[in-house]
Amino acid sequence: SAAAVSGAFAQGFPSKPITLVVPFAAGGPTDLVARHLAEAMRKPMGGASIVVENAAGAGGTIGATKVARATADGHTLLVWHIGMAATTSLYRKQQFKPLEDFEYLGIINDVPMTLLGSPKLPANTYRDFENYIRANGGKLNLAHAGLGSASHICGLMWQSAVKLDKSMTTIAYRGTGPAMNDLIGGQIDVMCDQTTNTTSQIEAGRVKAFAVTTARPLSNNKVLKDYPTLQEMGLKDFNLTIWHGLYAPKGTPPDVLKKINDALVAALKDPEFVKRQNDLGALVATDKRVTPAGHKEFVAAEIAKLKTAIEAAGQFAD
Ligand code: MLT
């Protein structure tokens, strides 16, 4: 029977290194989550070799398509985020259907974002920042990691929430890792990025921070407590949290999926993994979204929510 075949297959799984595909450039928040996760999953995966591969471009859809088309044997997985729910509303010719072309494992974490400015931006409080962008937005640029990336979604939602009359010039990168270098260097004026990537830069004073995108700081991150939320700054409905999830190609055998998700759930309970995530402002998932069904149900709801948000902010979506 298929179950018996799958069972036998699972016994031999993994039979080679497991690849976590990150659909953005190295050095960014998705890459960091994948590398932390690979380390935490190794032991529960029986000491298996778990490697991270960056396959960037087109807001994450190039890497996602690569995994959707990969051999469904459990050795190629995707670490992605809200892009799984957002890109469907932004790419007319998308090569995959989020709810049909993947097997869902669990959700990994929830990460706040911070609104940042380059060191030369003449503002030090959120109020100064918002007023400065209102007056000069048309002459300033904002970096993101492609349509449907977390940084892109945040940029369009923020510009829409403050009702800018002229949208900022947006510059797409292969990930917010590379973009961060240009923000520090002053070639980029503004970027909204996840605290997993921004905490160390803010602490080192290499960039200016103005506000946090979640309704409240998610964890006791020493940086987050220094900045107000956008809701506290008057954008009363603004609440953007970047979740990350783990996915396999459709058709991956059920017993293999179970073996992977058991290792994922064990990794999410690893004290070292939790501490590293919390120190960077992120919360590790503990709710029903860590189950495949809970994750998939959540993404279906997120697709609808982001479709509405993207349509409402349409003129800023590039
Ligand atoms: C990254 O890993 O570079 C980010 O997730 C890109 C983004 O989604 O903004």
pLDDT tens digit sequence for 141-163:
999 999 999 999 999 999 999 99
Q: How confident is the model at residue 5, as a pLDDT? A: 63
Ligand 1 midpoint to CA 9 (Å): 34
Closest atom of ligand 1 relative to the 179 alpha carbon: 3
> Predicted ipTM?
0.93
Q: How far is CA 278 from the centre of its chain?
A: 16
Ligand 1 midpoint to CA 3 (Å): 38
What mean pLDDT do residues 198-211 have?
A: 97
Q: Is the pLDDT of residue 10 over 90?
A: no
Return all residues near 81 (Cβ < 8 A) that are at least 6 apart: 30, 60, 150, 242, 243, 244, 245
Query: pLDDT tens digits, residue range 75-125?
Result: 999 999 999 999 999 999 999 999 999 999 999 999 999 999 999 999 999
Ligand 1 midpoint to CA 151 (Å): 6
Query: pLDDT tens digits, residue range 217-233?
Result: 777 788 888 999 999 99
Structure tokens at 243: 């979740």
Closest atom of ligand 1 relative to the 144 alpha carbon: 9
Q: How confident is the model at residue 173, as a pLDDT? A: 98
Ligand 1 midpoint to CA 264 (Å): 21
Of 21, 24, 36, the one to substitute when testing ligand 1's pocket (max ligand atoms within 8 A of C-beta) is 24
Structure tokens at 157: 């939602």
Q: The pTM is what?
A: 0.96
Q: How confident is the model at residue 45, as a pLDDT? A: 96
The span from the CA of 84 to the CA of 99, in Å, is: 9
Ligand 1 midpoint to CA 19 (Å): 19
Q: How many angstroms separate the Cα of 57 from the Cα of each of 25, 27, 193? A: 8, 15, 17
Q: Mean pLDDT over all residues of the chain?
A: 95
Closest atom of ligand 1 relative to the 25 alpha carbon: 3
The set of protein residues with a Cβ atom below 6 angstroms from ligand 1 is 24, 28-31, 144-145, 149-151, 175-177
Of 149, 182, 196, 242, the one to substitute when testing ligand 1's pocket (max ligand atoms within 8 A of C-beta) is 149
Q: Is the pLDDT of residue 293 over 70?
A: yes
Confidence at 3, pLDDT banded by 50, 70, 90: low
The span from the CA of 156 to the CA of 297, in Å, is: 25
Q: Is the pLDDT of residue 196 over 70?
A: yes
Residue nearest to atom 5 of ligand 1 (CA): 30
Q: How confident is the model at residue 1, as a pLDDT? A: 66
Residue nearest to atom 3 of ligand 1 (CA): 175
Ligand 1 midpoint to CA 12 (Å): 34
Question: How would DSSP label each residue in 188-225?
Answer: --EEEEEHHHHHHHHHTTSSEEEEESSSS-SS--TTGG
Ligand 1 midpoint to CA 74 (Å): 24
Q: Which amino acid is at 38?
A: A
